[in-house]
Chain A
Amino acid sequence: MSDSTQDNSTKLVLSWALVGVPLLWGFYLTLQNAMALFW
Protein backbone atom coordinates (compact mmCIF):
# COMPACT_ATOMS: atom_id res chain seq x y z
CA MET A 1 0.00 0.00 0.00
CA SER A 2 1.48 3.39 -0.99
CA ASP A 3 1.95 6.20 1.56
CA SER A 4 -0.71 8.39 -0.04
CA THR A 5 -3.28 5.56 -0.07
CA GLN A 6 -2.55 4.77 3.59
CA ASP A 7 -2.70 8.47 4.46
CA ASN A 8 -6.06 8.77 2.66
CA SER A 9 -7.44 5.71 4.47
CA THR A 10 -6.48 7.10 7.89
CA LYS A 11 -8.01 10.47 7.04
CA LEU A 12 -11.18 8.79 5.76
CA VAL A 13 -11.63 6.73 8.93
CA LEU A 14 -10.93 9.70 11.22
CA SER A 15 -13.13 12.19 9.38
CA TRP A 16 -16.08 9.78 9.05
CA ALA A 17 -15.72 8.83 12.72
CA LEU A 18 -15.72 12.52 13.66
CA VAL A 19 -19.18 13.03 12.14
CA GLY A 20 -20.49 9.48 12.43
CA VAL A 21 -20.06 8.97 16.18
CA PRO A 22 -22.06 12.05 17.31
CA LEU A 23 -24.68 11.37 14.62
CA LEU A 24 -25.17 7.76 15.74
CA TRP A 25 -25.24 8.83 19.40
CA GLY A 26 -28.01 11.34 18.69
CA PHE A 27 -29.83 8.86 16.46
CA TYR A 28 -29.74 6.21 19.22
CA LEU A 29 -31.10 8.60 21.88
CA THR A 30 -33.90 9.79 19.57
CA LEU A 31 -34.83 6.23 18.64
CA GLN A 32 -34.87 5.29 22.33
CA ASN A 33 -37.32 8.16 23.04
CA ALA A 34 -39.41 7.27 19.99
CA MET A 35 -39.96 3.76 21.36
CA ALA A 36 -42.20 5.34 24.04
CA LEU A 37 -44.79 5.49 21.27
CA PHE A 38 -45.07 1.71 21.18
CA TRP A 39 -44.32 0.66 24.79
Chain B
Amino acid sequence: MSMSDSGSWLDRSHTVADAGFSRWLVPPAALCIHLCIGQAYAFSVFNLPMSKLLGITASAADDWNLASLGWIFSIAIVFLGLSAAFGGTWLDRVGPRKAMALAACCFGGGFLVSALGVYLHQLWIIFLGYGVLGGIGLGLGYISPVKTLITWFPDRPGMATGMAIMGFGGGAFIASPLSVYLMKQFSSPTHIGVMETFVVLGIIYFIFMMIGAYLVRVPADGWTPAGWTAPTTQTALVTTHNVHIDNALSTPQFWLLWGVLCLNVTAGIGVLGQASAMSQEMFPGRITPAAAAGFVGLLSIFNMVGRFFWASISDFIGRKWTYAVFFALGIALYALVPSTGKSGSIALFVLFYAIILSMYGGGFATIPAYLRDVFGTRYVGAIHGRLLTAWSVAGVAGPVLVNYIRQYQIDSGVAKADAYTVTMYIMAGLLVVGFVLNLLMKPVDQRFYMTADGAKK
Protein backbone atom coordinates (compact mmCIF):
# COMPACT_ATOMS: atom_id res chain seq x y z
CA MET B 1 0.00 0.00 0.00
CA SER B 2 1.44 3.35 -0.99
CA MET B 3 1.65 6.39 1.30
CA SER B 4 -1.41 7.92 -0.34
CA ASP B 5 -3.37 4.66 -0.14
CA SER B 6 -5.65 4.49 2.93
CA GLY B 7 -7.61 1.38 1.93
CA SER B 8 -10.65 3.41 0.84
CA TRP B 9 -12.61 2.68 -2.35
CA LEU B 10 -11.45 6.10 -3.53
CA ASP B 11 -7.80 5.01 -3.64
CA ARG B 12 -6.01 4.35 -6.89
CA SER B 13 -5.42 0.70 -5.90
CA HIS B 14 -9.20 0.13 -5.86
CA THR B 15 -9.62 1.58 -9.34
CA VAL B 16 -7.28 -0.80 -11.20
CA ALA B 17 -9.40 -2.55 -13.85
CA ASP B 18 -9.91 -6.31 -13.85
CA ALA B 19 -8.97 -8.35 -16.90
CA GLY B 20 -11.75 -8.14 -19.48
CA PHE B 21 -12.80 -4.64 -18.48
CA SER B 22 -13.89 -2.64 -21.54
CA ARG B 23 -11.97 0.62 -21.94
CA TRP B 24 -15.09 2.12 -23.56
CA LEU B 25 -16.58 2.37 -20.07
CA VAL B 26 -14.07 5.09 -19.18
CA PRO B 27 -15.27 7.87 -21.55
CA PRO B 28 -18.79 7.83 -19.97
CA ALA B 29 -17.14 8.18 -16.54
CA ALA B 30 -15.24 11.23 -17.81
CA LEU B 31 -18.39 12.59 -19.45
CA CYS B 32 -20.28 12.31 -16.13
CA ILE B 33 -17.80 14.86 -14.77
CA HIS B 34 -17.47 17.14 -17.81
CA LEU B 35 -21.20 17.30 -18.59
CA CYS B 36 -21.73 18.59 -15.03
CA ILE B 37 -18.91 21.12 -14.79
CA GLY B 38 -19.77 22.39 -18.30
CA GLN B 39 -22.67 24.05 -16.46
CA ALA B 40 -20.24 26.93 -15.88
CA TYR B 41 -20.82 28.16 -19.45
CA ALA B 42 -24.54 28.52 -18.63
CA PHE B 43 -24.20 30.29 -15.28
CA SER B 44 -25.31 33.55 -16.87
CA VAL B 45 -28.95 32.28 -16.87
CA PHE B 46 -28.99 33.04 -13.13
CA ASN B 47 -27.70 36.61 -13.42
CA LEU B 48 -30.97 38.32 -14.32
CA PRO B 49 -33.13 36.39 -11.79
CA MET B 50 -30.52 37.04 -9.06
CA SER B 51 -30.66 40.77 -9.80
CA LYS B 52 -34.40 40.76 -8.86
CA LEU B 53 -34.47 38.55 -5.75
CA LEU B 54 -35.95 41.34 -3.60
CA GLY B 55 -37.84 43.37 -6.18
CA ILE B 56 -39.20 40.20 -7.94
CA THR B 57 -40.56 41.99 -11.06
CA ALA B 58 -37.78 44.60 -11.27
CA SER B 59 -34.53 45.24 -9.40
CA ALA B 60 -35.04 46.88 -5.98
CA ALA B 61 -32.53 49.31 -4.48
CA ASP B 62 -30.96 46.56 -2.31
CA ASP B 63 -30.84 44.01 -5.12
CA TRP B 64 -27.48 42.94 -6.56
CA ASN B 65 -26.51 44.57 -9.87
CA LEU B 66 -25.38 42.62 -12.94
CA ALA B 67 -21.79 43.92 -12.74
CA SER B 68 -21.40 42.50 -9.21
CA LEU B 69 -23.03 39.21 -10.22
CA GLY B 70 -20.59 38.92 -13.16
CA TRP B 71 -17.82 38.42 -10.58
CA ILE B 72 -19.23 35.02 -9.56
CA PHE B 73 -18.27 33.50 -12.94
CA SER B 74 -14.94 35.36 -13.07
CA ILE B 75 -13.92 34.09 -9.61
CA ALA B 76 -14.93 30.55 -10.61
CA ILE B 77 -12.74 30.69 -13.75
CA VAL B 78 -9.76 32.04 -11.76
CA PHE B 79 -10.12 29.20 -9.23
CA LEU B 80 -10.54 26.73 -12.09
CA GLY B 81 -7.11 27.78 -13.38
CA LEU B 82 -5.51 27.80 -9.92
CA SER B 83 -6.87 24.41 -8.81
CA ALA B 84 -5.97 22.82 -12.16
CA ALA B 85 -2.45 24.24 -11.88
CA PHE B 86 -1.85 23.26 -8.25
CA GLY B 87 -4.05 20.13 -8.05
CA GLY B 88 -2.49 18.29 -11.00
CA THR B 89 0.46 16.85 -9.07
CA TRP B 90 -1.82 15.67 -6.24
CA LEU B 91 -4.16 14.10 -8.80
CA ASP B 92 -1.26 12.21 -10.37
CA ARG B 93 -0.45 10.79 -6.93
CA VAL B 94 -3.92 9.82 -5.70
CA GLY B 95 -5.53 8.77 -8.97
CA PRO B 96 -8.67 9.89 -10.80
CA ARG B 97 -11.40 8.55 -8.47
CA LYS B 98 -10.38 10.54 -5.40
CA ALA B 99 -9.94 13.68 -7.53
CA MET B 100 -13.36 13.18 -9.17
CA ALA B 101 -15.00 12.64 -5.77
CA LEU B 102 -13.40 15.80 -4.38
CA ALA B 103 -14.48 17.69 -7.51
CA ALA B 104 -18.05 16.41 -6.93
CA CYS B 105 -17.99 17.57 -3.30
CA CYS B 106 -16.62 21.00 -4.26
CA PHE B 107 -18.89 21.58 -7.27
CA GLY B 108 -22.08 20.22 -5.64
CA GLY B 109 -21.16 21.84 -2.33
CA GLY B 110 -20.52 25.14 -4.11
CA PHE B 111 -24.17 25.19 -5.22
CA LEU B 112 -25.40 24.41 -1.70
CA VAL B 113 -23.27 27.17 -0.15
CA SER B 114 -24.53 29.54 -2.88
CA ALA B 115 -28.12 28.58 -2.01
CA LEU B 116 -27.37 29.72 1.55
CA GLY B 117 -25.99 32.96 0.11
CA VAL B 118 -29.22 33.53 -1.82
CA TYR B 119 -31.32 32.69 1.28
CA LEU B 120 -29.37 35.17 3.44
CA HIS B 121 -28.97 37.58 0.49
CA GLN B 122 -25.21 37.78 1.06
CA LEU B 123 -23.27 37.99 -2.22
CA TRP B 124 -19.92 37.20 -0.58
CA ILE B 125 -21.25 33.76 0.38
CA ILE B 126 -22.01 33.07 -3.31
CA PHE B 127 -18.52 34.29 -4.28
CA LEU B 128 -17.20 31.78 -1.74
CA GLY B 129 -19.65 29.02 -2.77
CA TYR B 130 -19.86 28.94 -6.55
CA GLY B 131 -16.78 31.12 -7.11
CA VAL B 132 -14.15 29.57 -4.85
CA LEU B 133 -15.53 26.12 -3.93
CA GLY B 134 -17.28 25.56 -7.27
CA GLY B 135 -14.23 26.89 -9.14
CA ILE B 136 -11.99 24.33 -7.38
CA GLY B 137 -14.49 21.63 -8.38
CA LEU B 138 -14.33 22.89 -11.98
CA GLY B 139 -10.52 22.78 -12.13
CA LEU B 140 -10.09 19.36 -10.47
CA GLY B 141 -13.00 17.92 -12.46
CA TYR B 142 -11.64 19.25 -15.75
CA ILE B 143 -8.21 17.65 -15.43
CA SER B 144 -9.16 14.50 -13.48
CA PRO B 145 -9.99 12.14 -16.39
CA VAL B 146 -7.38 13.41 -18.89
CA LYS B 147 -4.41 11.22 -17.99
CA THR B 148 -6.64 8.19 -17.39
CA LEU B 149 -8.16 8.50 -20.87
CA ILE B 150 -4.75 8.94 -22.51
CA THR B 151 -3.49 5.81 -20.71
CA TRP B 152 -6.53 3.77 -21.82
CA PHE B 153 -6.35 5.03 -25.43
CA PRO B 154 -2.64 5.28 -26.33
CA ASP B 155 -3.65 4.50 -29.93
CA ARG B 156 -6.24 7.34 -30.13
CA PRO B 157 -5.40 9.88 -27.37
CA GLY B 158 -6.88 12.83 -29.26
CA MET B 159 -10.24 11.15 -29.77
CA ALA B 160 -10.39 9.97 -26.14
CA THR B 161 -9.70 13.35 -24.55
CA GLY B 162 -11.80 15.03 -27.23
CA MET B 163 -14.81 12.99 -26.10
CA ALA B 164 -14.46 14.13 -22.48
CA ILE B 165 -13.74 17.75 -23.28
CA MET B 166 -16.67 17.73 -25.71
CA GLY B 167 -18.77 17.07 -22.61
CA PHE B 168 -17.59 20.35 -21.10
CA GLY B 169 -18.95 22.14 -24.18
CA GLY B 170 -22.18 20.14 -24.02
CA GLY B 171 -22.77 20.70 -20.31
CA ALA B 172 -24.22 24.14 -20.99
CA PHE B 173 -26.83 22.67 -23.34
CA ILE B 174 -28.23 20.64 -20.46
CA ALA B 175 -27.72 23.18 -17.68
CA SER B 176 -29.36 26.10 -19.42
CA PRO B 177 -32.85 24.60 -20.07
CA LEU B 178 -32.72 22.60 -16.82
CA SER B 179 -31.98 25.72 -14.74
CA VAL B 180 -34.72 27.71 -16.48
CA TYR B 181 -37.19 24.85 -15.94
CA LEU B 182 -36.33 24.48 -12.24
CA MET B 183 -36.51 28.24 -11.58
CA LYS B 184 -39.95 28.28 -13.21
CA GLN B 185 -41.12 25.41 -11.00
CA PHE B 186 -39.90 27.01 -7.78
CA SER B 187 -40.95 30.59 -8.54
CA SER B 188 -44.19 32.23 -7.45
CA PRO B 189 -45.55 35.78 -7.82
CA THR B 190 -43.76 36.71 -4.56
CA HIS B 191 -40.60 34.59 -4.86
CA ILE B 192 -37.86 33.77 -7.41
CA GLY B 193 -36.78 30.15 -7.06
CA VAL B 194 -33.01 30.56 -7.42
CA MET B 195 -32.21 29.13 -3.95
CA GLU B 196 -34.22 25.95 -4.50
CA THR B 197 -32.75 25.56 -8.01
CA PHE B 198 -29.22 25.78 -6.57
CA VAL B 199 -30.06 23.08 -4.00
CA VAL B 200 -31.52 20.71 -6.61
CA LEU B 201 -28.65 21.32 -9.08
CA GLY B 202 -26.07 20.83 -6.30
CA ILE B 203 -27.58 17.45 -5.40
CA ILE B 204 -28.01 16.31 -9.04
CA TYR B 205 -24.46 17.30 -10.01
CA PHE B 206 -22.99 15.69 -6.90
CA ILE B 207 -24.74 12.37 -7.63
CA PHE B 208 -23.89 12.43 -11.35
CA MET B 209 -20.22 13.23 -10.71
CA MET B 210 -20.00 10.53 -8.03
CA ILE B 211 -21.33 8.01 -10.58
CA GLY B 212 -18.40 9.10 -12.78
CA ALA B 213 -16.02 8.55 -9.86
CA TYR B 214 -17.53 5.10 -9.28
CA LEU B 215 -17.25 4.11 -12.96
CA VAL B 216 -13.68 5.25 -13.58
CA ARG B 217 -10.90 2.67 -13.74
CA VAL B 218 -7.18 2.86 -14.42
CA PRO B 219 -5.47 0.16 -16.47
CA ALA B 220 -3.16 -2.34 -14.79
CA ASP B 221 0.56 -1.61 -15.16
CA GLY B 222 1.81 -2.57 -18.59
CA TRP B 223 -1.69 -2.86 -20.12
CA THR B 224 -1.97 -2.05 -23.82
CA PRO B 225 -4.93 -2.32 -26.19
CA ALA B 226 -5.23 -5.64 -27.99
CA GLY B 227 -3.24 -5.63 -31.23
CA TRP B 228 -1.43 -2.40 -30.45
CA THR B 229 2.27 -2.13 -29.70
CA ALA B 230 3.87 0.98 -28.24
CA PRO B 231 6.23 2.69 -30.69
CA THR B 232 9.83 2.16 -29.69
CA THR B 233 11.34 4.90 -31.79
CA GLN B 234 10.58 8.59 -31.51
CA THR B 235 8.72 10.00 -34.50
CA ALA B 236 8.67 13.75 -35.19
CA LEU B 237 7.11 15.34 -32.09
CA VAL B 238 5.83 12.16 -30.45
CA THR B 239 8.20 11.15 -27.66
CA THR B 240 8.63 7.71 -26.12
CA HIS B 241 10.09 9.32 -22.96
CA ASN B 242 8.61 11.22 -20.02
CA VAL B 243 9.41 14.70 -18.74
CA HIS B 244 8.99 15.42 -15.01
CA ILE B 245 6.46 18.11 -14.14
CA ASP B 246 9.20 20.21 -12.46
CA ASN B 247 11.31 20.07 -15.61
CA ALA B 248 8.43 20.61 -18.04
CA LEU B 249 8.04 24.22 -16.97
CA SER B 250 11.73 24.85 -17.74
CA THR B 251 11.33 23.79 -21.37
CA PRO B 252 10.60 26.29 -24.15
CA GLN B 253 8.03 23.79 -25.47
CA PHE B 254 5.77 24.29 -22.43
CA TRP B 255 5.71 28.05 -22.91
CA LEU B 256 5.26 27.75 -26.69
CA LEU B 257 2.21 25.58 -26.10
CA TRP B 258 1.03 27.97 -23.35
CA GLY B 259 1.14 30.76 -25.94
CA VAL B 260 -0.51 28.59 -28.61
CA LEU B 261 -3.45 27.75 -26.30
CA CYS B 262 -3.72 31.28 -24.95
CA LEU B 263 -3.86 32.87 -28.43
CA ASN B 264 -6.29 30.30 -29.84
CA VAL B 265 -8.61 30.77 -26.84
CA THR B 266 -8.28 34.58 -26.84
CA ALA B 267 -9.42 34.75 -30.46
CA GLY B 268 -12.43 32.51 -29.85
CA ILE B 269 -13.60 33.53 -26.39
CA GLY B 270 -13.82 37.24 -27.23
CA VAL B 271 -16.14 36.53 -30.12
CA LEU B 272 -18.20 33.98 -28.18
CA GLY B 273 -19.02 36.54 -25.49
CA GLN B 274 -20.03 39.19 -28.06
CA ALA B 275 -21.67 36.94 -30.66
CA SER B 276 -25.24 38.06 -30.00
CA ALA B 277 -24.54 41.81 -30.09
CA MET B 278 -22.07 41.49 -32.99
CA SER B 279 -24.50 39.62 -35.25
CA GLN B 280 -27.24 42.19 -34.64
CA GLU B 281 -24.92 45.16 -35.14
CA MET B 282 -23.29 43.80 -38.30
CA PHE B 283 -26.69 42.99 -39.83
CA PRO B 284 -28.99 45.68 -38.39
CA GLY B 285 -32.67 44.91 -38.90
CA ARG B 286 -31.94 41.52 -40.46
CA ILE B 287 -30.82 39.53 -37.41
CA THR B 288 -33.43 39.90 -34.62
CA PRO B 289 -32.63 39.30 -30.91
CA ALA B 290 -34.30 35.84 -31.17
CA ALA B 291 -32.23 34.96 -34.24
CA ALA B 292 -29.10 36.24 -32.46
CA ALA B 293 -29.85 33.88 -29.54
CA GLY B 294 -30.14 31.11 -32.14
CA PHE B 295 -26.77 32.18 -33.58
CA VAL B 296 -25.18 31.86 -30.11
CA GLY B 297 -26.76 28.40 -29.76
CA LEU B 298 -25.40 27.36 -33.15
CA LEU B 299 -21.90 28.53 -32.18
CA SER B 300 -22.16 26.47 -28.96
CA ILE B 301 -22.99 23.39 -31.04
CA PHE B 302 -19.96 23.93 -33.27
CA ASN B 303 -17.84 24.63 -30.18
CA MET B 304 -18.90 21.24 -28.78
CA VAL B 305 -18.74 19.18 -31.98
CA GLY B 306 -15.37 20.75 -32.91
CA ARG B 307 -13.88 19.36 -29.71
CA PHE B 308 -14.50 15.78 -30.77
CA PHE B 309 -13.98 16.32 -34.50
CA TRP B 310 -10.64 18.16 -34.44
CA ALA B 311 -9.17 16.11 -31.57
CA SER B 312 -10.01 12.92 -33.49
CA ILE B 313 -8.55 14.33 -36.71
CA SER B 314 -5.34 15.15 -34.80
CA ASP B 315 -4.78 11.41 -34.23
CA PHE B 316 -4.31 11.07 -37.99
CA ILE B 317 -2.62 14.29 -39.12
CA GLY B 318 -0.68 15.03 -35.89
CA ARG B 319 -1.16 17.80 -33.32
CA LYS B 320 1.24 20.29 -34.89
CA TRP B 321 -0.59 20.11 -38.21
CA THR B 322 -3.96 20.34 -36.52
CA TYR B 323 -2.96 23.58 -34.79
CA ALA B 324 -1.41 24.84 -38.02
CA VAL B 325 -4.84 24.36 -39.65
CA PHE B 326 -6.54 26.17 -36.72
CA PHE B 327 -4.28 29.18 -37.12
CA ALA B 328 -4.05 29.32 -40.93
CA LEU B 329 -7.78 28.81 -41.45
CA GLY B 330 -8.55 31.14 -38.52
CA ILE B 331 -6.43 33.93 -40.02
CA ALA B 332 -8.24 33.63 -43.38
CA LEU B 333 -11.70 33.48 -41.80
CA TYR B 334 -11.16 36.40 -39.41
CA ALA B 335 -9.81 38.48 -42.30
CA LEU B 336 -12.87 37.61 -44.42
CA VAL B 337 -15.58 38.17 -41.75
CA PRO B 338 -15.78 41.99 -42.26
CA SER B 339 -16.45 41.44 -45.97
CA THR B 340 -19.50 39.28 -45.14
CA GLY B 341 -20.97 42.24 -43.25
CA LYS B 342 -20.30 44.57 -46.20
CA SER B 343 -21.76 42.11 -48.74
CA GLY B 344 -24.72 41.39 -46.44
CA SER B 345 -24.21 37.61 -46.56
CA ILE B 346 -25.61 36.19 -43.30
CA ALA B 347 -25.02 32.62 -44.49
CA LEU B 348 -21.26 33.21 -44.98
CA PHE B 349 -21.06 35.15 -41.69
CA VAL B 350 -22.63 32.22 -39.81
CA LEU B 351 -20.52 29.65 -41.66
CA PHE B 352 -17.23 31.48 -40.97
CA TYR B 353 -18.00 31.87 -37.25
CA ALA B 354 -19.21 28.27 -36.97
CA ILE B 355 -15.82 27.06 -38.30
CA ILE B 356 -13.93 29.52 -36.06
CA LEU B 357 -15.80 28.29 -32.95
CA SER B 358 -15.26 24.64 -33.91
CA MET B 359 -11.51 25.38 -33.90
CA TYR B 360 -11.81 27.21 -30.57
CA GLY B 361 -13.29 24.04 -29.04
CA GLY B 362 -10.85 21.90 -30.98
CA GLY B 363 -7.93 23.79 -29.43
CA PHE B 364 -9.04 22.83 -25.92
CA ALA B 365 -9.62 19.21 -26.85
CA THR B 366 -6.37 18.69 -28.79
CA ILE B 367 -4.00 20.22 -26.25
CA PRO B 368 -3.89 17.22 -23.80
CA ALA B 369 -2.79 14.89 -26.64
CA TYR B 370 -0.26 17.52 -27.82
CA LEU B 371 1.19 17.60 -24.29
CA ARG B 372 1.31 13.82 -24.15
CA ASP B 373 3.17 13.75 -27.50
CA VAL B 374 5.75 16.27 -26.31
CA PHE B 375 6.16 15.43 -22.59
CA GLY B 376 5.07 11.77 -22.38
CA THR B 377 2.18 10.25 -20.41
CA ARG B 378 3.65 10.16 -16.88
CA TYR B 379 2.92 13.77 -15.82
CA VAL B 380 0.51 14.80 -18.58
CA GLY B 381 -2.35 15.47 -16.12
CA ALA B 382 -0.28 17.81 -13.98
CA ILE B 383 1.32 19.55 -16.98
CA HIS B 384 -2.13 20.01 -18.54
CA GLY B 385 -3.30 21.56 -15.27
CA ARG B 386 -0.46 24.08 -15.32
CA LEU B 387 -1.12 24.91 -18.96
CA LEU B 388 -4.74 25.78 -18.21
CA THR B 389 -3.56 29.04 -16.63
CA ALA B 390 -3.39 30.16 -20.28
CA TRP B 391 -7.19 29.76 -20.34
CA SER B 392 -7.59 32.03 -17.30
CA VAL B 393 -5.45 34.71 -18.97
CA ALA B 394 -7.31 34.36 -22.29
CA GLY B 395 -10.65 34.43 -20.46
CA VAL B 396 -9.83 37.96 -19.32
CA ALA B 397 -7.86 39.15 -22.38
CA GLY B 398 -10.29 38.02 -25.11
CA PRO B 399 -13.48 39.77 -23.98
CA VAL B 400 -11.56 42.89 -22.86
CA LEU B 401 -9.89 43.15 -26.27
CA VAL B 402 -13.15 42.80 -28.20
CA ASN B 403 -15.17 45.11 -25.93
CA TYR B 404 -12.60 47.91 -25.69
CA ILE B 405 -11.70 47.99 -29.38
CA ARG B 406 -15.41 48.06 -30.32
CA GLN B 407 -16.08 50.90 -27.87
CA TYR B 408 -13.01 52.82 -29.08
CA GLN B 409 -14.18 52.51 -32.68
CA ILE B 410 -17.71 53.69 -31.86
CA ASP B 411 -16.34 56.61 -29.77
CA SER B 412 -14.17 57.55 -32.79
CA GLY B 413 -17.29 57.86 -34.96
CA VAL B 414 -17.17 54.48 -36.73
CA ALA B 415 -20.63 53.04 -37.57
CA LYS B 416 -21.69 50.12 -35.32
CA ALA B 417 -21.87 47.78 -38.33
CA ASP B 418 -18.17 48.44 -39.04
CA ALA B 419 -16.97 48.62 -35.42
CA TYR B 420 -15.78 45.00 -35.41
CA THR B 421 -13.56 45.26 -38.52
CA VAL B 422 -10.40 46.28 -36.64
CA THR B 423 -11.12 43.66 -33.95
CA MET B 424 -11.27 40.93 -36.59
CA TYR B 425 -7.94 42.03 -38.07
CA ILE B 426 -6.36 42.08 -34.59
CA MET B 427 -7.69 38.57 -33.94
CA ALA B 428 -6.16 37.48 -37.27
CA GLY B 429 -2.89 39.10 -36.12
CA LEU B 430 -2.97 37.15 -32.83
CA LEU B 431 -3.44 33.96 -34.81
CA VAL B 432 -0.39 34.81 -36.95
CA VAL B 433 1.66 34.91 -33.72
CA GLY B 434 0.08 31.60 -32.67
CA PHE B 435 0.96 30.09 -36.05
CA VAL B 436 4.61 31.07 -35.60
CA LEU B 437 4.75 29.72 -32.02
CA ASN B 438 3.30 26.41 -33.21
CA LEU B 439 5.82 26.32 -36.05
CA LEU B 440 8.66 26.64 -33.51
CA MET B 441 7.61 23.46 -31.69
CA LYS B 442 10.39 20.87 -31.66
CA PRO B 443 10.98 17.73 -29.53
CA VAL B 444 12.08 18.41 -25.94
CA ASP B 445 15.84 18.35 -25.38
CA GLN B 446 16.99 14.94 -24.11
CA ARG B 447 18.45 16.47 -20.93
CA PHE B 448 14.86 16.99 -19.68
CA TYR B 449 13.86 13.32 -20.05
CA MET B 450 13.33 11.25 -16.92
CA THR B 451 15.75 8.37 -16.39
CA ALA B 452 14.67 4.76 -16.89
CA ASP B 453 14.14 4.31 -13.11
CA GLY B 454 11.61 7.14 -13.11
CA ALA B 455 13.79 9.83 -11.56
CA LYS B 456 14.02 13.34 -12.95
CA LYS B 457 17.39 14.51 -14.20
Contacts and interface: CB of A to CB of B under 8 A. Distances in A.
A25 B22 CA distance: 26
B301 interface: yes
B229 to A, nearest CB: 24
Interface string B210-233: 010001000000000000000000
Instruction: Bin the interface of chain B by size.
Output: 20 to 34
A30 B300 contact: yes
Contacts of A37: 287, 291-292, 294-295, 298, 350
Contacts of B293: 33, 36
Given A15-B29, A16-B28, A36 B290 contact: yes
Contact of A23 (B35, B211, B294): B35
Determine which residue in A12, A33, A38 has the highest number of CB atoms from chain B within 10 A of its CB, and name it. Answer: A33
B28 A22 contact: no
Interface string A1-39: 000110010011001101100110111011101111110
Given A8-B21, A12-B22, A27-B170, A33 B297 contact: yes
A38 B20 CA distance: 49
A12 B350 contact: no
A22 B35 contact: yes
A14 B268 CA distance: 35
A32 to B, nearest CB: 9
A26 B176 CA distance: 8
B174 A23 contact: yes
B21 A19 contact: no
B323 interface: no
Interface in B347-388: 350
29 contacts: A8-B21, A8-B22, A8-B25, A11-B22, A12-B22, A12-B25, A15-B25, A15-B29, A15-B215, A19-B28, A19-B32, A25-B174, A26-B172, A26-B173, A26-B175, A27-B173, A27-B304, A30-B300, A33-B293, A34-B294, A34-B297, A34-B298, A34-B301, A35-B294, A36-B290, A36-B294, A37-B294, A37-B298, A38-B294
Given A11-B22, A30-B297, 19 more contacts: A8-B20, A11-B25, A12-B25, A15-B28, A15-B29, A16-B28, A19-B35, A19-B167, A22-B35, A22-B174, A23-B174, A25-B174, A29-B177, A30-B173, A30-B300, A30-B301, A33-B294, A37-B292, A37-B295
